[in-house]
Homo-oligomer: A and B are copies of this chain.
Amino acid sequence: MKPTAKQVAHAAGVSLAAVSRAFTPGAPLDAAKRKRILAAAESLGYISPARRTANAIAAGTITLVAGDLLNPFYPTVLDTLARQLQASDRQLLVYTMAANADVDAIIPQILAARPSAIIVTSTFLTSNMARACRQHQIKVVLLNRIQRDARINAVACDNYQGGRDIGRRLLERGYRKIGFIGGVANTSTHAERARGFQDILAEAGRSIHVRAAGDFNYHDAYAAGMAVLSGGDPPDALFCCNDIMALAVMDAARERGLRIPDDLAVAGFDDIPMAGWNAYRLTTIRQPVERMVQEALNLIDDPTIKPSDDGVTRTLPGTLMARKSA
């Protein structure tokens, strides 16, 4: 039998009216009493009509927590997601988060909207947030991120294989002093790409000639590129962990008068639109954005996957885009 407000009122030891008020924002009610009523309602499984309609509305809503929109890869993801959701008549709520922002601060805001699912492309998902979402029965899918420990669904490009593909390309083209410009160290995108890259070099009896960190952004990567190219014994090829950094490194190399790819080969990862521009013609790995988004929605729509389950991880293959830069 469906629990009623009357039962909640009895359980909380208040009047029926108070229960109704507890669910009406702005209604005059002692805060402590409201809390008691809400707790009683929760334990009985009571859902007020207002909450029910709110849930119905939110059911057609998916929240995207986007990280760095300045990296053109993410607008592409956003665009693709928006289109696919429009096609299935759902709505897209967007939150953005500065790289160093306090994620936990916006959790209540996000949860207040009670979306049916959350897609996260920002760098970090705290375990706090993961727990909160599980509790509220909201599905979470990480996109372009993997966090195996956190028992969370994830969709990503095969970053390991991509790292290998780039490495093989550089080896095949005869480069000898192959360096690596990393992103943010404790991200799966950085770690997996680096691992694949390192593995294939090792298999060929090589090791990474020089390393530096570019923090996934243009500015830091430019500085890193400059530093690496100015050192003694500079590399003749650099694999940058994403495209933005690769473009920065190319700019730095040209600034130093190096010809690409003759003096220095540069490869990236993502295949953002600019990678194909004539100023760069960057060799990179194309992430299958369309399919990644599709797969994220599949995970969300799959009723056999419950928010409380351990995470499912889907990995999709990238494509080597062999252009002029490497």
Contact = CB atoms under 8 A, between A and B. Distances in A.
Interface of A: 25, 49-50, 53-54, 56-57, 66, 69-70, 72, 74-76, 78-79, 82-83, 86, 89, 91-96, 106, 109, 113, 218, 222, 247-248, 250-252, 254-255, 273-274, 277-280
B93 A109 contact: no
A153 to B, nearest CB: 22
Given A83-B96, A95-B86, A255 B278 contact: yes
B279 A250 contact: yes
Interface of A (DSSP majority class): helix
17 contacts: A25-B56, A53-B54, A54-B57, A69-B79, A70-B75, A70-B273, A74-B75, A78-B78, A78-B94, A78-B96, A82-B94, A82-B95, A92-B93, A218-B277, A248-B277, A252-B278, A274-B274
A73 to B, nearest CB: 11
A295 to B, nearest CB: 20
A96 B72 contact: no
A251 B222 contact: no
A66 B280 CA distance: 28
Given A49-B50, A222-B278, 20 more contacts: A53-B54, A69-B75, A69-B76, A70-B75, A70-B79, A72-B72, A72-B75, A75-B75, A78-B96, A82-B95, A83-B96, A86-B95, A91-B113, A94-B94, A218-B273, A250-B279, A251-B279, A254-B278, A254-B279, A274-B274
Nearest to A64: B94
A279 B247 contact: yes
B54 A79 contact: no
B82 A96 contact: yes
Given A251-B278, A254-B279, A109 B89 contact: yes
Contacts of A89: 109
Contacts of A66: 82
A72 B69 CA distance: 9
Contacts of A54: 53-54, 57
Nearest to A250: B279
Contacts of A255: 278
Contacts of A222: 278
Given A57-B54, A252-B278, A273-B70, A94 B92 contact: yes
A174 to B, nearest CB: 26
Nearest to A279: B251
Given A250-B279, A252-B278, A277-B247, A79 B96 contact: yes
Contacts of A56: 25
Contacts of A273: 70, 218
Interface centre among A50, A91, A251 (most CB of B within 10 A): A91
A273 B219 CA distance: 11
